[in-house]
Structure 1
Amino acid sequence: MREAEIKALLVDPFNNAPVILLKDRNSSQAMPIWIGESEAMSIAFSLQSNQFPRPLSHDLMKTIIEDLEGSVQRIVISRVEEGTYYASIFLTNAEGETTEIDARPSDSLALALRTGSPIFISDEVFEASAIESPFAEEDEFQDFVESKMNLGQFKRLIG
């Protein structure tokens, strides 16, 4: 099992479909998943910390879970069949019991963004679908900056 993060929300130039890019936290590889437009809009608003005047479906799910004293422990993208990805949302209730709920990856990711829950991908799915991240050099540079100097030093260096 690999922990991942949402690296980017892109548009496939061949068919104008939204694509979410999930990056393995421990490598330079990423996994693209094509998603629907409404889920992409919901994810984009969450990535940009924007809110609609009225709650979207994923905001509603978060509110219901929290009002029932539950929490989203993690989401897992567990398998791919005939090009369709499958995911599970793991919820914990007030008594500490965990329930696994079948969900589309796009809905799972939108909920994980809103709850700050970790995202995992099974090794089998990741290895079958992974590509070299187009952001690998950017990530290496960011890691260098964070590990070798603080922000003040960096500003002095480029200023």
Structure 2
Amino acid sequence: MVVMQVAGLTLDEQTKAPILVLKSVQGNDTLPIWIGAMEAMAISVVINAVSVPRPLTHDLMLGTIGKLGAELLGVEIVDLREGTYFAELDILSAGTRHRVDSRPSDGIALALRAGVPILVRQSVLDAAARDNLRPSASKPAHLIEPADAAAEMMRKAESIRAAHTGQTGQEGEEHEGPDEETLKELLKHLEPDTKTKM
């Protein structure tokens, strides 16, 4: 297993889908993973040490694991099949270790909150390199600050909302929440359009 860390978030230049970039702690291995907008926000909140008034989904899950007397030991990205990464949570409960299937994006959001290792199998890194899913040394991944990536996603969401309602989300302005059609359109535009998924 290769120990990785979050290098940052960026956006796909063509689809504007969020990309989470992992980098090996020792060495030059880099692994980009296309993720959903909500998962990108969940990761960005931790990277930028943003405090939230109420627990987010990943905070709730981690809190539940702890309340049940279990402990998250780490997350491992264990496979790459047909452009989709697969991960497992390593959980210790009552002296027994359990493996729980997870999307890498959710596992990493939990790992960042718990301060536990993010590991990737060497075979996954090799497969990603073979399938040209990793940036080369001559074409490094262009990273932007996590806060900027999150802000860009929020700007995109706001522009879609404004296009449907004719309103702009200026500070101090009150408006009703988006209707069902607007939400569907928003989710459609925020969905990653790529084969290399979370």
Q: Distance in 1 between matches of 2:10 and 2:25?
A: 19
Q: What is the Cα deviation at residue 29 of structure 1? A: 2.1
Q: Which residue of 2 aligns with 1:127?
A: 126
State whether structure 2 residue 86 is matched by structure 1 residue 86.
yes
State whether structure 2 residue 71 is matched by structure 1 residue 67.
no
Runs (5+) with no aligned partner, structure 2: 129-133, 142-198
Query: How high is the TM-score relative to the length of structure 1?
Result: 0.80
Q: Distance in 1 between matches of 2:56 and 2:67?
A: 16
Amino acid at match of 1:86: F
Q: Which residue of 1 aligns with 2:50?
A: 50
Runs (5+) with no aligned partner, structure 1: 136-159
State whether structure 2 residue 24 is matched by structure 1 residue 24.
yes
Residues 28, 132 of structure 1: 8 Å contact kept:
no
Q: Which residue of 2 aligns with 1:108?
A: 107
Q: What is the Cα deviation at residue 70 of structure 1? A: 1.3
Q: Distance in 1 between matches of 2:48 and 2:95?
A: 32
Q: Distance in 1 between matches of 2:135 and 2:3?
A: 16
- Equivalent residue of 1:106, what SS? helix
Greater relative contact order structure (CA < 8 Å, 6+ sep): 2
Q: Which runs of 4+ in 1 moved over 3 A?
A: 130-135
Q: Which residue of 1 aligns with 2:196?
A: none
Residues 89, 102 of structure 2: 8 Å contact kept:
yes
Q: Distance in 2 between matches of 1:39 and 1:85?
A: 15
Amino acid at match of 2:119: F
